[in-house]
Structure 1
Amino acid sequence: MWSALLQDVGVNVLAFVPEAMTDILRLEQVFQVVLPDQLKDLLVEVGPISGRYGEGIVWGTEEIEKQNHLMRASADFRSLSMSFEQLFFFGDLGNGNLVGFRILQGEVDALSVFKWDHESDSRLSLYLTLEG
């Protein structure tokens, strides 16, 4: 499903490197969340997706873990920003801004995608979903 959809919009499907389900399940354990099936399916079928200019539209599991740890653990972010415990980042826009799902009661809400603005610390609902 995902590879056909992405191919239809001009993404080079030969470059896909699918993620292992074991890595995705490890993310759920590390962050104590339940990830949306749409994100799991996307990662297993096609893996990370980069944009034309190198932006990480959807990161792989290693980058997802690294960036979420960084955003939660950085002393700089804790002193300058609101908490990131309610967001689960999965990609970036190539300009320093990140995109992530809202976390409610341990579940990552696939219907709530937010953009975090790195300059203003604002969080804007994008009204996007990962529906294939």
Structure 2
Amino acid sequence: MWKRLIGELYEDAEFAPAASDAEIDQIEGRLNQTVPDELRDLLRHTNGARAEWGSGLVWSVEEIIDQNTQFRHDAEFAKLYLPFDELMFFGDNGGGDQFAYAGMASGQNTAVYVWDHETDDRKRVADSLTDYLQRRAGAEDDDWYR
């Protein structure tokens, strides 16, 4: 379902081989957050998807772990921004802003938020991963979420 949806929305979509449940579980172990069911399902079909000149629609398991770990433990970021512990970044716009789930205690929160790297604003932009992919694809510019 996910590869078909993304392929229909983004003609330049690139997919990675599927991630295993053990690989996806590493996100939970390293970030101490539950992976939302819809993200887990997508990663089971493709371990990340890129489009729009290589921007990360949805990152791989490794990218999710690396990016979230970096944001949470970077001393300079701690001086500049509010804490990132409640966010689980999973994609980017190619220009510094990143997309995330927030408040991942139950794993069922499907709302997608954007973090603005210039203002530190965190704003809800979609109701689900599908909604995020559709809104992003239908946008006329990279700042569709503003």
TM-score of the pair, normalised by structure 1: 0.88
Task: Kindly report which structure 2 residues correspond to 1:3-82, keeping only aligned pairs within 5 A, or say none.
Answer: 3-11=3-11, 15-82=15-82
CA displacement 1:63-97 (0-9 Å, x = unmatched): 00000001100001100100101101001011100
Which residue number corresponds to residue 121 of structure 1? 120
The alpha carbon displacement at 1:112 in A equals 1.9
Which residue number corresponds to residue 83 of structure 1? 83
Q: Closer, same or farther in 2 for the Cα pair 1:131/1:110, shift >3 Å?
A: farther
Q: Closer, same or farther in 2 for the Cα pair 1:117/1:109, shift >3 Å?
A: farther
Any idea what SS the aligned residue of 1:107 has? coil
TM-score of the pair, normalised by structure 2: 0.80
CA displacement 1:25-52 (0-9 Å, x = unmatched): 1111111221111101101112211112
Q: Closer, same or farther in 2 for the Cα pair 1:79/1:52, shift >3 Å?
A: same
Q: Closer, same or farther in 2 for the Cα pair 1:53/1:24, shift >3 Å?
A: same
The alpha carbon displacement at 1:18 in A equals 1.3
Which residue number corresponds to residue 138 of structure 2? none
Aligned sequence identity (%): 31
Asked whether the 8 Å contact 2:14–2:50 carries over to 1, the reply is no
Asked whether the 8 Å contact 1:20–1:44 carries over to 2, the reply is yes
Q: Closer, same or farther in 2 for the Cα pair 1:14/1:93, shift >3 Å?
A: closer
Asked whether the 8 Å contact 1:91–1:99 carries over to 2, the reply is yes
Asked whether the 8 Å contact 1:103–1:109 carries over to 2, the reply is no
Q: Which runs of 5+ in 2 are unaligned?
A: 132-146
The number of equivalent residue pairs is 131
The alpha carbon displacement at 1:7 in A equals 2.7
